[in-house]
Amino acid sequence: MSKLLMPFKFIYKFFVQVFEEGKKAVWPTRNDVFRGTVTVTVTVAISVFVFAGFDWLLQKGLIYILEK
């Protein structure tokens, strides 16, 4: 094999190995993905409300302190 084609051989071998490993992987079911997505979305929404409420309380507290 010529030296010019050697890098392409390694690239081809790499992608073949990637696809072989992908076939061995245990992929989540559709239900698992849905449940995980809902869990993350709800957790993020709750966190947003908690941090927004905390920020609002700090803002009101600082305004109250600075106006005195």
Kindly report the pTM of this predicted structure: 0.60
Domain boundaries, the chain: 6-67
pLDDT at 19: 93
∠ CA 9-11-16, rounded to 5°: 95
Residues in Cβ contact with 9 at an 8 Å cutoff, skipping those fewer than 6 apart: 1
For residue 31, give both structure tokens: 């239900």
pLDDT digit string, tens, across residues 9-66: 888 899 999 999 989 989 899 999 999 999 999 999 999 999 999 999 999 999 999 9
